[in-house]
Structure 1
Amino acid sequence: METFSKKEKEKLRQKKRKDKQEKKEDRKANAQKGQSLDQMLAYVDENGNISTTPPDPRRIRSVNEASIQIGVPRQSDVPAEVLVRNGVVTFFNASKGYGFIKDLQTQESIFVHVNALTEPLNEQDKVTFSTTQTPKGPNAVDVKKI
């Protein structure tokens, strides 16, 4: 005994099967077999775009392979005198043990922790310091009052 829903599902299956067969026949009829190699090739122009026309040989630029830089360039060694900076303490919370120093040369705000201090600091103190790079940014170390 077939119910209405079973009949409807079977009709849908038959329709899908018929549509699939028609698409298959259409693909076979419109297939472009035997294309020449020139029709199948794609070229990259001087801007990196894919095109069907070969690049103009007059526009080809030569690149010196040694000038291509892969990765991050190595930092040159900086003399020790340059590493010592001058700054002013803009904020310092002694109870929490951290603060910020404003570098007088670059106007950059640099984090300072109480462990990097040689003596206690107050706001507006002039200091000398060195910096180290951390994942969160530069940190002041060897902080001394002037």
Structure 2
Amino acid sequence: MGKSQATFGKKENEKKRLKKRNEKAEKKEERQANAKKGQPLDEMLAYVDENGNITSTPPDPTKKKKEIKVEDIRLGAMRQEDMEQEDPIRKGQVTFFNDSKGYGFIKDSVTQQSIFVHANGLSSGTTIKENDKVSFEVEMGPKGPSAFNVKVGGGE
């Protein structure tokens, strides 16, 4: 007589398939047993409040609604000419500067953002050190915002 054609690997794979099938059937039965059939509509609804948060309570109809003009609604990004032009010269304080390597950081006095500064970005004849109040302009460098045209004495 010949040997059985089913190898050990095939038998193991068949056992795994049967086990998965049984687990899936058990999960399905459990879901069906725990399903809440016939829930009232009020329990299935969710509401969004004025801040965009999802709540289970309906909005208060007596509360005054905020009126929004159609002209104020913008779709997409603002055009460059529509944006308000802010003063390009900023003020801040030098938090760190390494003279030997020629770089440091300035903390913007308005945004509290730390901005990189290199010795090449200093105004001609200007030298800075830590805690100096400075005025500067910002441009986007390869790794983020970078200060240029830095002048001492312009900070607040």
TM-score in terms of structure 2 length: 0.47
- Name the larger-Rg structure: 1
Structure having the larger proportion of residues in helix: 1
